[in-house]
């Protein structure tokens, strides 16, 4: 059976795009072995606050649970807590070229004009390769921005296998089923993202209802005045319709004004996020329980990860 891994960065700005594009597909596919991985090691590639990182990692784990990830079926882990990730990262560097890493678009973008660039920002895609390969993953749901990194993981795995002997499963990137790409409400030309320059167009998963209503009410539309899908000419309205479909799980009825559309979207989003917010508040009362779930996830995945690292060490002559 295929094994999947979905990664989440530990930031305090989880948004509706993360839920629709990653968490819900993960929940929908829980009949197959899956891992939900919080990439807390990744947070070390840029300046960070240790206390904030610890809190964010716990928050993402809590939101995953609140969104319906079932820890009995999906192992929820933080990559820092499974030391095999870091060990395999180092071993994989023996099959990765400096030029390959330096060519990554994300590295070029994040390092350009930045004096304090950490070495780990350069080698981050090798860590991502290790995150995937260490668990013998076949399928990785990835967005466009991670495609190049997944390709590198495939290249490194294939090369390692050819050079040192069959060691790794070569993973495949997939588009999650029914996962609409959600755009920024204040700038529908860009995707909703935690790293957007402004939070004005982002619907946070833990935003209070009045903030959500305001964000949707202020969403950028157009002067056409007709509610219809036309991504080219009406990207804002098209995005609101996509959110409505994803949240209400049905075709919207006839809507005659943008005001009516926004009210419907607000209600549909609240119907999805309200219960998540409530469950999150409940779970937050017992952070020890969430930490225990992370520890259980680690215990569940570690034997296979240790076995993969053992194979890699042996292949390398260690």
Q: What residues act catalytically?
A: 110, 191, 194
**Interface with ligand ADP, residue 139, by CB under 6 A:** no
**36/95 with CB nearer Na ion:** 36
Count of Cβ atoms closer than 10 Å to residue 167 Cβ: 19
Region near ligand ADP per CB under 6 A, out of 45-53, 64-72, 156-164, 188-196: 188-196
Q: Residue 10, Cα to own-chain centre: how many angstroms? A: 9
**In this chain, which of 17, 33, 71, 235 binds ligand ADP, going by CB under 6 A?**
17
Closest distance between ligand ADP and the C-beta of residue 177, in Å?
13
**In this chain, which of 72, 115, 189, 195 binds ligand ADP, going by CB under 6 A?**
195
If you search the block for the tokens 């990835």, which residue do you land on?
A: 142
Region near ligand ADP per CB under 6 A, out of 111-119, 192-200, 246-254, 279-287: 192-200
8 Å CB contact between 132 and 156: no
| 213-248: burial string, b at 16+ Cβ within 10 Å, e else | bebbeebbbeeeeebeeeeeebbbbbbbbbbbbbbb
Binding partner of residue 171 among ligand ADP, Na ion, none, CB cut-off 5 to 8 Å per kind: none
The DSSP call for residue 280 is H
Q: Residue 184, Cα to own-chain centre: how many angstroms? A: 17
Binding partner of residue 276 among ligand ADP, Na ion, none, CB cut-off 5 to 8 Å per kind: none
How far is 154 from 170, CA to CA, in rounded Å?
6
Binding partner of residue 51 among Na ion, ligand ADP, none, CB cut-off 5 to 8 Å per kind: none
Q: At what angle do helices 287-316 and 147-164 cross, to 10 degrees?
A: 40
Region near ligand ADP per CB under 6 A, out of 121-129, 193-201, 252-260, 291-299: 193-201
Q: Closest-CB residue for ligand ADP?
A: 21
**28/299 with CB nearer ligand ADP:** 28
Binding partner of residue 71 among ligand ADP, Na ion, none, CB cut-off 5 to 8 Å per kind: none
Task: Kindly state the tokens that stand for 168.
Answer: 């790794």
Binding partner of residue 160 among ligand ADP, Na ion, none, CB cut-off 5 to 8 Å per kind: none
Count of Cβ atoms closer than 10 Å to residue 307 Cβ: 13
Residues 6+ apart with CB under 8 A from 148: 104, 105, 106, 125
**Interface with ligand ADP, residue 48, by CB under 6 A:** no
Closest distance between ligand ADP and the C-beta of residue 68, in Å?
15
Binding partner of residue 19 among Na ion, ligand ADP, none, CB cut-off 5 to 8 Å per kind: none
**Interface with ligand ADP, residue 191, by CB under 6 A:** yes
**Interface with ligand ADP, residue 21, by CB under 6 A:** yes
Give the strands of the sheet with 34-38, arranged side by side: 74-78, 34-38, 4-8, 139-141, 172-174
Q: By C-alpha distance, which of 243, 236, 187 is closest to 212?
A: 243
Positions 167 through 186 that interact with ligand ADP (CB under 6 A): 181-182
Residues that bind ligand ADP (CB under 6 A): 8-9, 17-18, 20-22, 141, 143, 181-182, 191-195
């Amino acid at each position: 059976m295929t094994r999947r891994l979905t990664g989440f960065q530990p930031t305090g700005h989880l948004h509706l795009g993360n839920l629709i594009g990653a968490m819900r597909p993960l929940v929908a596919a829980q009949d197959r072995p899956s891992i939900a991985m919080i990439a807390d090691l990744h947070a070390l590639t840029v300046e960070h606050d240790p206390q904030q990182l610890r809190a964010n990692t716990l928050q993402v784990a809590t939101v995953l649970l609140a969104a319906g990830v079932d820890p009995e079926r999906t192992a929820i882990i933080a990559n820092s807590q499974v030391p095999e990730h870091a060990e395999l990262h180092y071993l994989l560097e023996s099959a990765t070229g400096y030029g390959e890493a330096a060519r990554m678009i994300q590295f070029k973008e994040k390092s350009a004009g930045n004096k304090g660039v950490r070495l780990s920002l350069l080698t981050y895609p090798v860590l991502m390769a290790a995150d995937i390969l260490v668990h013998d993953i076949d399928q990785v749901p990835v967005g466009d921005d991670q495609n190049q990194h997944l390709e590198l993981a495939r290249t490194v795995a294939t090369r390692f296998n050819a050079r040192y002997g069959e060691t790794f499963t070569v993973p495949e990137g997939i588009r999650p089923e029914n996962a609409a790409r959600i755009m920024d409400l204040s700038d529908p030309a860009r995707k909703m993202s935690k790293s957007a320059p402004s939070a004005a167009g982002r619907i946070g998963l833990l935003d209070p209802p009045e903030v959500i209503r305001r964000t949707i009410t202020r969403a950028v539309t157009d002067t056409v005045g007709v509610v219809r899908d036309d991504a080219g000419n009406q990207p804002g309205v098209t995005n609101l319709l996509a959110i409505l479909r994803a949240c209400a799980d049905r075709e919207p009825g006839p809507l005659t004004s943008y005001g009516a559309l926004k009210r419907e979207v607000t209600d549909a989003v609240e119907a999805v996020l309200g219960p998540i917010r409530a469950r999150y508040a409940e779970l937050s009362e017992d952070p020890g329980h969430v930490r225990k779930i992370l520890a259980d996830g680690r215990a569940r995945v570690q034997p296979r990860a240790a076995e993969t690292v053992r194979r890699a060490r042996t292949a390398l002559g260690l």
